[in-house]
């Protein structure tokens, strides 16, 4: 097993994607610290991993604070003797359009996703550096952080910020031999269950059936298990040379996302004043403006969502 003898923390791993990551890490030989805010859910996750033949313990706490980050690292060291891998998966949703989004909606999502990733990564890196462990930090981004999505100001900001931190950490952690990467999952989750576009795919997954090929291949949309292999790979010694990357996984598709690059460049001696931009911007950049949001292919007729009253 590629991760034999290693120890991992997976935040937000009581269910869904996080549980899939934790189970795969355990299948590959790692002992896992499970984390969730619900004690019963966390206990069930530990039992599931142990039933698979793995080793796990649970920390029941909401990520975000430095105190909980320390608690997670300490649990790994106290229970299993060390720490090698951190997966920052914990997250919540508070979706509302901008004018309806409250300060509380914004702060709650930023605290769990962005600050929780920051505090846990800082604590884990401190342990790695002090103990000369060539650790692995695997954060979880989102297509929303890469492209934007209606009604998700808070979530988009957090997920874009996570990728920005990963690029910075790759520079700061290189000398210590620690890698930091972001995984961009496209899978059936609590969020996608609410979108009619994915209805047929989510229903198939819930029945235990294979998702239609249109979703898996054309859209790169699949199950939580389709993403878990990438997480385990990035946690392994085989990925020692990979850092600072945003890598997407979903269904049958694997993607390496680019870092932001200039789409077009123009120069003018003396710089660009207001009137210069009025006269020239459209001819220079008008046909090069970048799209926003995810652009989905039209659904085949047989995969169209059923009317609500027919369900």
What is the four-CA torsion angle of 14, 15, 21, 27, rounded to 10 degrees?
A: 80
CA atoms of 23 and 18, how far apart (whole Å):
9
* C-alpha–C-alpha distance, residues 153 and 114, integer Å: 13
What lies within 8 Å, CB to CB, of 179 at 6+ separation is 134, 135, 136, 137, 170, 173, 234, 239, 240, 242, 243
CA distance 307 to 264: 44
- Angle, vertex CA 89, rays to CA 60 and CA 69, nearest 5: 50
Q: Which residues contact 78 (CB under 8 A, 6 or more apart)?
A: none
* Token pair recorded at residue 78: 């106290």
| Strand pairing category for 56-60 and 85-88 | unpaired
> Tokens standing for 79?
């229970």
Active site residues: 155
| Token representation of residue 237 | 């010694």
| 283's tokens | 């001819």
* Rg for the chain, CA atoms, rounded: 21
DSSP state of 100: G
């Amino acid at each position: 097993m590629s991760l034999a003898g290693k120890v991992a923390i997976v935040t937000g791993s009581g269910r869904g994607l996080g549980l899939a990551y934790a189970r795969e890490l355990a299948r590959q030989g790692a002992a896992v610290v499970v984390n969730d805010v619900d004690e019963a859910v966390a206990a069930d996750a530990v039992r599931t991993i142990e039933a698979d033949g793995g080793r796990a313990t649970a920390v029941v706490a909401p990520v975000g604070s430095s105190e909980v980050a320390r608690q997670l690292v300490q649990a790994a060291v106290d229970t299993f003797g060390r720490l090698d891998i951190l997966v920052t998966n914990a997250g919540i949703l508070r979706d509302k359009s901008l004018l309806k989004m409250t300060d509380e909606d914004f702060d709650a999502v930023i605290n769990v996703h962005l600050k929780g990733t920051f505090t846990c990564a800082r604590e884990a890196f401190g342990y790695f550096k002090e103990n000369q462990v060539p650790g692995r930090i695997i954060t979880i981004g989102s297509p929303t952080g890469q492209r934007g999505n209606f009604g998700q100001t808070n979530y988009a900001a957090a997920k874009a910020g996570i990728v920005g931190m990963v690029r910075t950490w790759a520079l700061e952690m290189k000398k210590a031999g620690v890698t930091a990467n972001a995984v961009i999952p496209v899978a059936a989750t609590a969020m996608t269950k609410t979108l009619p576009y994915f209805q047929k795919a989510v229903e198939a997954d819930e029945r235990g059936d294979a998702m239609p090929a249109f979703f898996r291949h054309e859209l790169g949309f699949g199950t939580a298990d389709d993403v878990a292999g990438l997480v385990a790979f990035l946690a392994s010694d085989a990925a020692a040379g990979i850092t600072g990357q945003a890598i997407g996984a979903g269904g049958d598709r694997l993607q390496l996302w680019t870092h932001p690059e200039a789409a077009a460049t123009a120069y003018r001696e003396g710089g660009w004043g207001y009137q210069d931009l009025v006269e020239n911007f459209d001819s220079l950049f008008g046909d090069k403006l970048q799209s926003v949001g995810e652009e989905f292919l039209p659904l085949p007729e047989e995969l169209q969502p059923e009317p609500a009253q027919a369900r």
